[in-house]
Homo-oligomer: A and B are copies of this chain.
Amino acid sequence: MASKAIAIIAGVGAGTGAAVARKFAASYPVVLIARNPDNYESLAREINSNGGKALGISADVANAKSIKAATEAIKKEFGDDVTAAAAIFNASGSFVRKPFLELTEDEFMAGLEVSGRGAFNFSSAFLPLLLKTVHSNPKYPPALIFTGATASVKANAMMSSFATGKFALRALSSSLAKEFGPQGVHVSHAIIDGVIDIPRTKDWMKDAPPDAKISADAIADSYWYLHTQPRSAWIWEVDIRPYVEKW
């Protein structure tokens, strides 16, 4: 049981979450949170076999009990005095695009359940671990980073579920930045504007140049950059898009 600061990533899948986990795993033990163990098991093996340390936890951020259990599992593994160097909220509601009057209440609320309730549960659970790091003379200030999207600032027709969630997440990030920044926690928000280059999007944009999709590793680099900034010059928000993106 070590007291070394860890990094916690929620929403680990094929793209951004996995890339972020690999990046932070080079410096910290990482906790990988996803609902479905399929999403983190091979990644955890990969990190553990490459000399890093990864703990996969199956949890639903939208369920407070589930996040509480995740916190217990983290303490069991890393000690009650565990601290966090970084907590990255990369979970996202499912992407329902259909006429508003065909949306069920549950479909509409799916975005807010993850990006509202889930982000609350995540922040409530792990801000205390980030605050503990502030006073431990860390190499870098502790960071709480939220992944947004174009829908964080633009709500298109038939996208109300996704956009209400992402707008709410941006509000939460801004409010937390103002409350916890002065306490030494760097809270940020990244607007990812474009298609991420992952297996699922392999066949999209086939006529575009090879780097017309966003590299998940490049997003991870940006998150790492945010983490390493000194507190005298923190960035709250970045917008990340490939060079060819129309906006």
> Which A positions have Cβ atoms within 8 angstroms of B?
64, 99-101, 103, 105, 108-109, 112, 116-117, 120-121, 123-124, 127-128, 141, 151, 154-160, 163-172, 174-176, 178-182, 184, 186, 197, 211-215, 218-219, 221-222, 225, 229-247
- Contact at B244–A230, with CB atoms within 8 Å? no
- Contact at A127–B112, with CB atoms within 8 Å? no
Copies of this chain assembled into the complex:
4
Chain B residues closer than 8 Å to A127, beta-carbon distance? 100-101
Chain B's nearest CB lies how many Å from the CB of A193?
Answer: 9
Which residue in B116, B163, B179, B246 is a CB contact (below 8 Å) of A164?
Answer: B116
Chain B's nearest CB lies how many Å from the CB of A221?
Answer: 8
- Contact at A117–B109, with CB atoms within 8 Å? yes
- Contact at A234–B230, with CB atoms within 8 Å? no
Those 10 A-B pairs whose CB atoms lie nearest each other, nearest first: A218-B233, A157-B178, A167-B171, A157-B179, A155-B171, A164-B168, A155-B174, A231-B243, A211-B232, A160-B175
Chain B residues closer than 8 Å to A158, beta-carbon distance? 175, 179
Which residue in B124, B165, B171, B233 is a CB contact (below 8 Å) of A222?
Answer: B233
